[in-house]
Structure 1
């Protein structure tokens, strides 16, 4: 598996709108296993976004797709600056299918 972790600062008061942007993408991209958005307790305008894919190739295909570019542009409008990205091999993960939620 391969994934990305992004740290980003949301424009003040826009974290819920950011969550809605992700919710509007009902279907995960091909090869995607999970996506999560975490808002920190210490700073409600700081978020961490994770995306996990079946392989590096699946991640790269998604990153190069026009659909992902459109999703990124919608997300970017809500951010103060570009996210800080960290890509790499997932060395451990466990997911429950029924755990999908929106708090």
Structure 2
């Protein structure tokens, strides 16, 4: 498996909108996402303006194919509009669950 962890900087007032976006993605895009296994968002206790997001895919090829979908880019643009700045992404192999 392969995935990404993103660190998001967001106004805490927008966290509910962010959660709604993930729920909508899971309901509408999940079926079309190429190789999607699962994902999570976590709002940190230490700083309510920091959200960690993780998405896992079957492999790196499917991860990249999904990222190239226009629907995924449209979703990302909506996500980015809620954030203070660009997410910090860390991609890699999932070595244990």
Greater shift, 42-51 or 11-20, is seen at: 11-20
Q: Does 1:10 align with 2:10?
A: yes
Higher normalized contact order (CA 8 Å, seq sep 6+, divided by chain length): 2
Write 1 or 2 for the structure with the bigger share of helix. Answer: 2
> Residue 46 of structure 1: CA displacement?
0.5
> Residue 42 of structure 1: CA displacement?
1.3
Q: Which runs of 5+ in 1 are unaligned?
A: 94-103
Q: Does 1:81 align with 2:54?
A: no
Residue pair 2:5, 2:55 contacting (<8 A) in 1 also:
yes
> Residue 41 of structure 1: CA displacement?
0.8
Residue pair 2:14, 2:82 contacting (<8 A) in 1 also:
yes
> Residue 44 of structure 1: CA displacement?
1.1
CA distance in 2, matches of 1:47, 1:83: 10
Q: Does 1:71 align with 2:83?
A: no
> Residue 63 of structure 1: CA displacement?
0.8
**Residues 25-83 of structure 1 deviation map (CA, whole Å, 9 limit, x = unaligned):** 11421200001100001111100000000000010001111011001001111000000
Give the counterpart of 1:36 among 21, 35, 40: 40
Give the root-mean-square deviation of aligned CA atoms: 0.9
